């Protein structure tokens, strides 16, 4: 950390005049983030209906040639809500939603919010065992599946509980113009919504802040994906913090969104920020670095949602005419590395970087409302950064058994206090929720959420991200559970042990996967077959890029894999005498990794 990143009193005071013009919106945001009464009737549905009432003719959603005003979008959501209500969807019903980034996903999520139902946002890259687990975990009563993912769903349907009924299909097209024809055994949701009443439903006004809005899947630190609960209360806090206090968009703004809509970054942070100011969302199916600036110009986008990896891709692109004097003024997201922060702002003329920190399951969020560089921003929540013993993987407790706070600028574990005002909604599994709570931290009886992240305090309730703890690493903007990948590897013929960990590649963000494998005696690794197996069973971001073949796997006394030495040696042939393999970008299998290829990877000859 550079001393220039520390926020002194003088630096903080210099920022206050620039905040004055945004003070009314910022204060409104603080009101929403500070609501204590979880019985209060505030929700995503309320936010949409408010925007539709204030700015009915302003654009709400844009995609390619499609353009929907707030009035039209709200009416569409109401028709879908009544259709789903007629099919038995009620307050608290869990509905699995499998749709790629298109306007229909926003309409379905808005419809479910109006009923007080819960949308389980299925990661569209999941396949096989992981997808089956995710669907069965939340016990959905209804399934809404887009044509683009129909075959994927059908491939696991036989193993999904109660998937023999309440199946709803949406054609992969503009379903308002052409609903299409659903396959046998499926109901066409677009046709069911035709002719339904367009007025707001009475149920919308009954949705409370304590009610669940989304189930968002998170890898966590162990095992298969967990479903974290995003309540309407947490959504409203994001609406206030990111939308009003952070970005402060208006109905004249357009937020360009390429992040997947099964992520909180998209459906909570970006959508909440847009709804707060009745701004439009311009949606793209999947991120494309080469098409980015042409899209920005076409939509006249003033803001975009990012993850750090996306920003790196854009910086790596050659300069194009559309990026010159572009219309973007601000951006909101997380993971922008200090190494490219200023370069990105200067090249593309970005005035404000609203970096944030939050987790789907956590009770704390930071937002860069004061527009400092290299920080996740400010948090009004009660938090502490405590000393952490990395070698023994646990917080340090003093003689009296209480944790110790680190000094300003020193890295430590971020924990956030669980209170009535800052509740912890946790996971659908109570045991997993309890596992991430620290008790008796600074006094007997207190409870704190363990974020699992190392942070440093840089002053004035601002923090700077340092690293992640435990067995989860981030790659391509996604959390990767090593246990999940190890389990998939273990099902491949001939693999006796699999140890997965994250390793860094120069010039990339986060850590990619590496797997150390022990084979059954007499077995040779079929590298092409292994790659095909991983492609079938895992999302692309979770597939290990590097392999190491071990003669023996070291474990602890509790049979946990010892990963420290493996991580340290990584894929360097000078430090590893075992056979090494790499899967290069665009290749279907793994090739031998020798010293020459290692040097080329280190030089950045391949774009991972």
Instruction: Read off the pLDDT of residues 367-381 as tens digits, 9 standing for 90 and up.
Output: 898 999 999 999 989
Q: What is the pTM of this model?
A: 0.82
Find the mean pLDDT for residues 384-406: 90
Instruction: Dig out the tokens for 580 from the structure.
Output: 């090494």
Largest separation between any pair of C-alpha atoms in the chain: 72
Find the mean pLDDT for residues 32-36: 89
Instruction: Read off the pLDDT of residues 559-600 as tens digits, 9 standing for 90 and up.
Output: 456 677 898 899 999 999 999 999 999 999 999 999 999 999
Sole residue written with tokens 């007629």: 86
Residue 33 φ/ψ region, left for φ over 0, alpha for ψ in the -120 to 50 degree band, beta for the rest: alpha
Burial of 82 (0-12, 13-18, 19+ CB in 10 A): buried
pLDDT above 80: residue 79: yes
- Rounded to an integer, what distance in angstroms lies between the CA atom of residue 281 and that of residue 367? 20
Count CA atoms within 13 Å of residue 71 on its CB side: 6
Find the mean pLDDT for residues 106-135: 96
pLDDT above 50: residue 556: no
pLDDT at 557: 39
Instruction: Read off the pLDDT of residues 193-213 as tens digits, 9 standing for 90 and up.
Output: 999 999 999 999 999 999 999
Using 50, 70 and 90 to split pLDDT, how confident is the model at 71? very high
Percent of residues, the chain, with pLDDT higher than 70: 96
Burial of 178 (0-12, 13-18, 19+ CB in 10 A): exposed
Residue 573 makes CB contacts below 8 A (sequence gap 6+) with: 580, 593, 594, 595, 598
pLDDT above 70: residue 241: yes
Is residue 67 a contact partner of residue 59, using CB atoms and an 8 Å limit? Answer: yes
Instruction: Read off the pLDDT of residues 523-551 as tens digits, 9 standing for 90 and up.
Output: 899 999 999 999 999 999 999 999 999 98
- Rounded to an integer, what distance in angstroms lies between the CA atom of residue 386 and that of residue 451? 12
Is residue 325 a contact partner of residue 293, using CB atoms and an 8 Å limit? Answer: no
Is residue 366 a contact partner of residue 376, using CB atoms and an 8 Å limit? Answer: yes
- Rounded to an integer, what distance in angstroms lies between the CA atom of residue 130 and that of residue 481? 12
pLDDT, averaged across the chain: 92
Using 50, 70 and 90 to split pLDDT, how confident is the model at 3? low
Q: Any idea how long the chain is?
A: 608
pLDDT at 324: 95
Strands, E assignment, 440-543: 447-459, 462-468, 472-475, 478-481, 495-503, 512-519
- Rounded to an integer, what distance in angstroms lies between the CA atom of residue 425 and that of residue 304? 28
Residue 369 makes CB contacts below 8 A (sequence gap 6+) with: 19, 26, 241, 245, 246, 354, 377, 378
Instruction: Read off the pLDDT of residues 440-493 as tens digits, 9 standing for 90 and up.
Output: 999 999 999 999 988 999 999 999 988 777 667 778 888 787 877 887 898 899
Q: Give the DSSP per-residue string, 18-65.
A: HHHTTHHHHHHHHHHHT---TTS---HHHHHHHHHHH-TTSEEEEETT
Q: Give the DSSP per-residue string, 79-126.
A: HHHHHHHHTT--TT-EEEEE--SSHHHHHHHHHHHHHT-EEEE--TT-
pLDDT at 219: 59
Instruction: Read off the pLDDT of residues 326-344 as tens digits, 9 standing for 90 and up.
Output: 999 999 999 888 878 999 9
- Rounded to an integer, what distance in angstroms lies between the CA atom of residue 123 and that of residue 125? 6
Residue 541 makes CB contacts below 8 A (sequence gap 6+) with: 125, 475, 476, 477, 478, 480
Residue 408 φ/ψ region, left for φ over 0, alpha for ψ in the -120 to 50 degree band, beta for the rest: beta
pLDDT at 551: 85
Instruction: Read off the pLDDT of residues 250-265 as tens digits, 9 standing for 90 and up.
Output: 999 999 999 999 999 9
Q: Which of 411, 476, 454 is nearest to 219 (CA)?
A: 476
- Rounded to an integer, what distance in angstroms lies between the CA atom of residue 109 and that of residue 61? 14
- Rounded to an integer, what distance in angstroms lies between the CA atom of residue 606 and that of residue 608? 6
Count CA atoms within 13 Å of residue 574 on its CB side: 5
């Amino acid at each position: 950390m550079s001393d220039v990143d520390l926020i002194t009193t003088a630096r903080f005071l210099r920022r206050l005049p620039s905040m004055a013009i945004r003070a009314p919106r910022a204060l409104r945001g603080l009101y929403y983030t500070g609501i204590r009464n979880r019985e209060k009737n505030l929700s995503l549905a309320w936010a949409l209906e408010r925007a539709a009432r204030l700015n009915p003719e302003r654009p709400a959603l844009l995609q390619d040639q499609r353009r929907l005003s707030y009035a039209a979008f709200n009416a569409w959501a109401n028709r879908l809500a009544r259709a789903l209500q007629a099919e038995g969807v009620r307050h608290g019903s869990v509905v699995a939603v499998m749709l790629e980034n298109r306007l229909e996903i926003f309409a379905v999520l808005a419809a479910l919010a109006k009923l007080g139902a819960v949308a389980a946002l299925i990661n569209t890259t999941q396949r096989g065992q992981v997808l089956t687990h995710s669907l069965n975990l939340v016990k959905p009563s209804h399934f809404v599946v887009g044509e683009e993912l129909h075959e994927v769903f059908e491939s696991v349907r036989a193993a999904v509980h109660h998937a023999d009924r309440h199946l709803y299909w949406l054609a992969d097209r503009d379903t308002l113009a052409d609903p299409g024809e659903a396959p046998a055994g499926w109901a066409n949701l677009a046709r069911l919504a035709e002719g339904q009443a367009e007025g707001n439903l009475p149920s919308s006004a009954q949705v409370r802040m304590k009610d669940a809005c989304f189930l968002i899947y998170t890898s966590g630190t162990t095992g298969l994906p967990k479903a974290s609960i995003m309540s309407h209360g947490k959504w409203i806090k994001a609406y206030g913090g990111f939308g009003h206090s952070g970005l402060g968009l208006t109905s004249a703004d357009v937020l360009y969104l390429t992040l997947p809509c099964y992520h909180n970054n998209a459906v909570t942070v970006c959508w909440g920020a847009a709804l707060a100011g009745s701004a439009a969302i311009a949606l793209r199916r999947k991120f494309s670095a080469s098409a980015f600036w042409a899209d920005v110009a076409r939509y006249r986008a003033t803001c975009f949602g990012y993850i750090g990896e996306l920003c790196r891709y854009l910086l790596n692109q050659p300069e194009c005419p559309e990026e010159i004097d572009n219309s973007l003024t601000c951006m909101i997201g997380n993971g922008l590395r200090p190494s490219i922060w200023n370069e990105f702002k200067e090249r593309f003329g970005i005035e404000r970087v609203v970096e944030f920190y939050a987790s789907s399951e956590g009770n704390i969020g930071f937002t860069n409302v004061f527009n400092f560089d290299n920080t996740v921003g400010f948090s009004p929540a009660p938090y502490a950064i405590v000393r952490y013993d990395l070698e023994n993987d646990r917080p340090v407790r003093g003689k009296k058994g209480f944790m110790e706070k680190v000094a300003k600028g020193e890295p430590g574990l971020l924990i956030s206090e669980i209170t009535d005002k800052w509740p912890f909604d946790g996971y659908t599994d109570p045991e997993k929720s309890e596992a991430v709570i620290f008790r008796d931290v600074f006094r007997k009886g207190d409870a704190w959420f363990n974020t699992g992240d190392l942070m440093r305090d840089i002053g004035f309730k601002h923090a700077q991200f340092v690293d992640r703890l435990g067995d989860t690493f981030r790659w391509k903007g996604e959390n990767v559970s090593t246990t999940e990948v190890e389990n998939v590897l273990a099902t491949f013929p001939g693999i006796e042990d699999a140890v997965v960990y994250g390793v860094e590649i120069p010039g990339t963000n986060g850590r990619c996967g590496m797997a150390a494998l022990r084979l059954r005696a007499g077995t040779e690794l079929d590298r092409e077959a292994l790659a095909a197996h991983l492609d079938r069973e895992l999302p692309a971001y979770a597939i290990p890029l590097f392999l190491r073949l071990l003669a023996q796997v070291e474990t602890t006394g509790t049979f946990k894999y010892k990963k420290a030495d493996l991580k340290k040696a990584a894929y360097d042939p000078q430090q590893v005498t075992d056979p090494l393999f790499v899967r290069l970008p665009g290749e279907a299998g793994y090739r031998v990794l020798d010293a020459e290829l290692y040097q080329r990877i280190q030089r950045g000859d391949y774009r991972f």
